[in-house]
Amino acid sequence: MARRTFIAGNWKLNLGPASSARLAEELVRTLADRGEVDVALYPTTISIPAVQAVLGGSGIELGVQEVEAFASGAYTGANSPVLCREAGCTRALIGHSERRQRYGETDAGVAAKTVACLDAGLLPMICVGETLQERDAGVAADIVGHQVRAALSALPADRVGALTIAYEPVWAIGTGRTASPAEAQEMHQHVRAVLRSLYGDVIADGLRVLYGGSVTPETAPALLGQPDIDGALVGGASLKAASFAAIVRASH
């Protein structure tokens, strides 16, 4: 089954409203002829309205980097999937390793946020990945398999189709060290096997599994050429229009 390539830019805690709007404007212009590839931008929360105003009818989607599992209430400082949807987001990252490592995100939290996003009409991208110690200990596949199963534990098959999974080895995020195409393909194949065991062939063959971890215009072609790598979640290289656009173009 053909899966449409998906390139996502995670701007992390970079760029305020004015500079985010400028980068989004440049991308709308540069990627007007991008062809058959889905593109989404995840700016800082404070910049979501500014980017939303620029993206207009460009077809480039808008996502939020982090949400809570609740719609509203006494949660000072939190982001709600419902309110992000109201602000024009159609997508959300969930369980990014920086959230798991620095903010204590748990597998249970990831599962609850996934359901809350789907309830609010946001398409979740669930991030999974092993640390270097886990890879060196030979348990990378077990860890990633466990994260995928835990994230999906509350989801019946009829809700899973809206998801994207991002495999991001923690040792490759922001380090300049990318998994080799063969290493990444092996783990993507494993993630798809886990999906197959949970939901069967149609869902396993239809869901997109993106790779993330120091993707650059140089490394993108070989990674995106792997049969089970359906796109990229890009951090550092998404902060410049030229490098992000080159990664989008590397997908075909």
**Closest residue to ligand PEP: CB criterion:** 235
Residue 11 CB, nearest distance to ligand PEP (Å)? 9
Q: Convert residues 200-219 into a mask of x (bound to ligand PEP by CB under 6 A) and - (unbound).
A: ------------xxxx----
**Which range of residues in 109-117, 156-164, 194-202, 228-236 is near ligand PEP by CB under 6 A?**
228-236
Residue 200 CB, nearest distance to ligand PEP (Å)? 29
Catalytic residue, chosen from 61, 66, 96, 134, is 96
CA distances from 40 to 32, 59, 118, 204, 244 (A): 14, 9, 17, 22, 11
Phi, psi at 222, each rounded to 5° = -70, -35
Residue 211 CB, nearest distance to ligand PEP (Å)? 9
The CA distance from 120 to 101, in Å, is 26
The reply to whether 101 sits near ligand PEP by the rule CB under 6 A is no
The reply to whether 168 sits near ligand PEP by the rule CB under 6 A is yes
- Whether 96 is catalytic: yes
Residue keyed to tokens 């449409």: 4
Closest to 47 (Cα-Cα) out of 71, 76, 81, 13: 13
Task: Decide if 167 contacts 187 (C-beta within 8 A).
Answer: yes
Task: Decide if 2 contacts 38 (C-beta within 8 A).
Answer: no
Task: Decide if 5 contacts 36 (C-beta within 8 A).
Answer: yes
Task: Decide if 93 contacts 103 (C-beta within 8 A).
Answer: no
Residue 86 CB, nearest distance to ligand PEP (Å)? 25
How many residues touch ligand PEP (CB under 6 A)? Answer: 14
Closer to ligand PEP by CB, 126 or 233: give it.
233
Closer to ligand PEP by CB, 7 or 173: give it.
173
Kindly list the residues in this chain that would bind ligand PEP in the complex (CB under 6 A): 10, 12, 168, 173-174, 212-215, 233-237
